[in-house]
Structure 1
Amino acid sequence: MYNPFAVTLLALEAQKVVELRLVKLAWGGVEGRLEAQRMVSEKISAFVEASGTLMKGGSADVVIARYREHVAANTKRLTATCPIPT
């Protein structure tokens, strides 16, 4: 079983990353292209990591906690370079 509260937090936190990434993509240029590439590679990497965790017997809670760590890191990185106040 999984913790629905953690899933809700993940959804809310991920929404902020989506917002920040859309701003970066909208500004375009080299940074926008790099962000698009980073986004795709991060998604593939996160899928592989989550699959590995589950195949080794890890729980959904472990996967959710790890995703939240990735989301927090992206929020920190994107807010450090965000051109608009957040």
Structure 2
Amino acid sequence: MRNPWMRLTMDTWALGVEASSVIGLRTLKMAAGGAAAQAEAELMVREKIESGLALQARAMTGGLGLTAHGAAARTVAHYRRKVRANRRRLSKI
């Protein structure tokens, strides 16, 4: 694609689709209840906090780049990696 913003748009859309599938998988796991559901809930909260802090640290050290597009693209890539890992983990169960 010649327009980098269009690529970012598609990546953001893909993040939304993947996040929706993770929400569904987590909902099923938590609906089952028990110790596994409790562990998943705790993992979810911990991952969200750690991911946000890691992204903030990257922003403060210049790791997101110098342009608006670069920062947005690296932010979406950061979250896509995390969401993809969760989708793979939850799909194995």
TM-score tier (shorter): 0.7 to 0.9
Give the TM-score of the pair, scaled to structure 2: 0.81
Sequence identity (%) = 35
Partner SS state of residue 16, structure 1: helix
The aligned counterpart of 2:83 is 71
Q: 1:47 aligns with which of 35, 49, 52?
A: 52
> Do the aligned residues in 2 keep the contact of 1:21 with 1:78 (CA within 8 Å)?
yes
- After the TM superposition, list the runs of 4 or more consecutive aligned residues in structure 1 that deviate by more than 6 angstroms: none
Cα RMSD of the aligned pairs, angstroms, is 1.4
What runs of 5+ residues in structure 2 fail to find an aligned partner? Answer: 65-70
After TM superposition, list the pairs within 5 Å mapping 1:2-41 onto structure 2. Answer: 3-41=8-46
How many angstroms apart in 2 are the aligned matches of 1:56 and 1:19? 35
What runs of 5+ residues in structure 1 fail to find an aligned partner? Answer: 82-86
Give the count of matched residue pairs.
81
